[in-house]
Amino acid sequence: MDSAVLLDLLGNENRRRILRLLARRPCYVTEISEYLGVSPKAVIDHLRKLDDAGLVESRVDDQRRKYFSIARNLRLEVNVSPYEFGTKSAYPASRSLDMNRCRYLSLHVEPDGSDEADGSAGDGGDATETDGETKQRHGPRAEVNPDRSSEPDDSLAALTAELERLETLENELSMAQRWVQGRLTDVMDSLSGAFPDGDGRLYAELLAAVANGARTTTAVARRVDASPAVTADALARLEREGLLEQTGEEWRLTASE
Amino acid sequence: MDSAVLLDLLGNENRRRILRLLARRPCYVTEISEYLGVSPKAVIDHLRKLDDAGLVESRVDDQRRKYFSIARNLRLEVNVSPYEFGTKSAYPASRSLDMNRCRYLSLHVEPDGSDEADGSAGDGGDATETDGETKQRHGPRAEVNPDRSSEPDDSLAALTAELERLETLENELSMAQRWVQGRLTDVMDSLSGAFPDGDGRLYAELLAAVANGARTTTAVARRVDASPAVTADALARLEREGLLEQTGEEWRLTASE
């Protein structure tokens, strides 16, 4: 989903209240209307917008009354900094997380008593980005045993324990991301200041664009919103400084590991 | 900052465009007005709202003309799932990240050639939550050497390398968070289904509330938006099932590590 569409939807207090309510339980329009103190017509209008965006969905009960619930998992992240206004939205990618693709991150969420061999339950077929060394880190192994029939109590306890691990991990990831954002700002400050002629900020943003995956001069120019000519000149200077290398049309950081 | 205030601000396309522009460079009102194709009066109105919220700030140049820039780092996260509509906003906490407080997460961002002893540059004074075992994980050590005067080229290269590590790490953290959100939904589904009498969802949400730090019956009731009486009954059942324990007024998960 487009982050802009999502922000437009979430920019309305009543729509946020509807989502908060539906996250607790599926509801009929009349229930939402009473809870919010808003006319059924207005509620229907909000629900239609949320439905169009795929955020909520409706079903029909035994009495053929329509009720609404949240349709799917969705995550939105907004970063604001002197160097960035970035929005990112994503559906949780898959049931598996391939930690082999993570170079700088390890998670430790093995369930008690798990003896599975290698936890990185990757979706396979996507090993091209691994670099073939030191990739034996343990992936997250917070697997729930699907066969809980024999020991229901134990399994409930295991689920609750996993719930707590995941909630804790979520808070830790969030804290780590705030730290990364602060560090990124520091590094951009340092880079900007390292070019004495006043264009430091442009150079820092060019380097960040390349670091973040922009490869061609055109892609970099679009990312930093500078003209292709200015961008080409500045990239050439960064190449002379030994910070960038060009292979064919593609730029990469010389320092890239 | 209140997430609701932030979402109201970001729910406007022109304010998002202003932030995107200011993230590239500080601007005068006239520049913003021309870039957006919006009257200076409307721009001033948007800037005032952003200023009130502390997102942008203004300075005066040599000719006493006011120009605007983004005031500070800020991060907003929104989770939407069948069990949650959660918003979280935070300023990057500090320049340091105390990995000793992370139980399930490790970051690997040591700079090339760094020989510092222990990277967890915690702000100290907050060691009460560590549990005194296996806390020797390496914290992030992406330190920038502040004394770059002697070898300017090397240090620029080091800064660029760090920039790329941080950008990569940010993407990895984001991927991990999406995975955690998906797993949380799975666990909540399993927990809800594990109580046969139709109240599974309430029990699952009570457990999640306790796992997420709600301690007293009142706090849990508020979190799940149920009456204190219903909440007290349900918590008592979860205690009988051996999933919760109460010490004084405080609930905790029996499975809590």
Three-state helix/strand/coil letters over chain A:
CCHHHHHHHHCCHHHHHHHHHHCCCCEEHHHHHHHHCCCHHHHHHHHHHHHHCCCEEEEECCCCCEEEEECCCEEEEEEEECCEEEEEEECCCCCCCCHHHCCCEEECCCCCCCCCCCCCCCCCCCHHHCCCCCCCCCCCCCCCCCCCCCCHHHHHHHHHHHHHHHHHHHHHHHHHHHHHHHHHHHHHHHHHHHCCCCCHHHHHHHHHHHHCCCCCHHHHHHHHCCCHHHHHHHHHHHHHCCCEEEECCEEEECCCC
Q: Report the gap between the CA of B41 and the closest CA in chain A (Å).
A: 22
pLDDT value at residue B139: 40
Q: Give the confidence band of B95 by pLDDT, cuts at 50, 70, 90.
A: low
- For residues A121 and A91, is the Cβ–Cβ distance under 8 A? no
Q: Which domain holds residue B225?
A: 195-253
Domain membership of residue B184 (yes or no) is no
Among the candidates A143, A159, A179, a domain finishes at A143
Domain membership of residue B77 (yes or no) is no
Round the average pLDDT of chain B to a whole number and report it: 80
- Residue range A174-200: mean pLDDT, rounded: 85
B107: nearest CA partner in chain A: A105
Domain membership of residue B87 (yes or no) is no
- Of chain A, the percentage scoring pLDDT greater than 70 comes to 79
Domain CATH code at residue A31:
1.10.10.10
Domain membership of residue B186 (yes or no) is no
Check whether residue A101 and residue A64 sit in a common domain. no
- Residue range A216-224: mean pLDDT, rounded: 92
Model confidence at B144: pLDDT above 60: no
Domain membership of residue B25 (yes or no) is yes
Query: Which tokens belong to B38?
Result: 């919006």
> Which of B170, B112, B164, B161 lies closest to B141, judged by CA?
B112
Q: Give the confidence band of A155 by pLDDT, cuts at 50, 70, 90.
A: confident
Lowest mean pLDDT segment, chosen from A104-108, A207-211, B182-186:
A104-108
Check whether residue A62 and residue A103 sit in a common domain. no
* Phi/psi of residue A65, nearest 5 degrees: -95, 140
| Bridge partners, A57 (sequence order) | A69
Check whether residue A243 and residue A201 sit in a common domain. yes
A19: nearest CA partner in chain B: B85
Q: How confident is the model over B174-212, as pLDDT tens digits?
A: 888 888 888 888 899 899 888 877 788 899 999 999 998
> Which of B140, B51, B77, B137 lies closest to A74, judged by CA?
B77
Lowest mean pLDDT segment, chosen from A67-71, A188-192, B86-90:
B86-90
CA triple B226-B227-B229, angle to 5 deg: 125
Cα first-last separation, chain A? 32
- Residue range B20-44: mean pLDDT, rounded: 94
The pTM (predicted TM-score) of the whole model is 0.75
Check whether residue B169 and residue B100 sit in a common domain. yes
Q: Do A254 and B157 touch (CB under 8 A)?
A: yes
pLDDT value at residue B68: 97
Q: Do A97 and B175 touch (CB under 8 A)?
A: yes
Check whether residue A106 and residue A50 sit in a common domain. no
Domain membership of residue B106 (yes or no) is yes
Q: Give the confidence band of A133 by pLDDT, cuts at 50, 70, 90.
A: very low
Q: Give the confidence band of A221 by pLDDT, cuts at 50, 70, 90.
A: very high
Domain membership of residue A179 (yes or no) is no
Q: How far apart are CA B257 and CA A168, in angstroms?
A: 11
Check whether residue A103 and residue A61 sit in a common domain. no
- Residue range A52-76: mean pLDDT, rounded: 92
Model confidence at B40: pLDDT above 90: yes
B71: nearest CA partner in chain A: A82
Check whether residue B111 and residue B158 sit in a common domain. yes
- Residue range A6-24: mean pLDDT, rounded: 94
Q: How far apart are CA B38 and CA B44, in angstroms?
A: 10
Q: Do B182 and A83 touch (CB under 8 A)?
A: no
Chain A residues in contact with B160 by the CB 8 A cut-off are: 191, 207, 211, 243, 253-255
**Domain total of chain A:** 3
Check whether residue B154 and residue B215 sit in a common domain. no
Helix H or strand E segment including B7? helix B3-10
Chain A residues in contact with B241 by the CB 8 A cut-off are: 153, 156
| Bridge partners, A70 (sequence order) | A56
Model confidence at A114: pLDDT above 80: no
Q: Do A211 and B160 touch (CB under 8 A)?
A: yes
pLDDT value at residue A172: 85
Q: Do B257 and A161 touch (CB under 8 A)?
A: yes
Q: Report the gap between the CA of B233 and the closest CA in chain A (Å).
A: 18
Residue A218: CA atoms inside 13 Å, Cβ hemisphere, count? 1
> Which of B104, B102, B96 lies closest to B122, judged by CA?
B96
Q: Give the confidence band of A94 by pLDDT, cuts at 50, 70, 90.
A: low
Domain membership of residue B78 (yes or no) is no
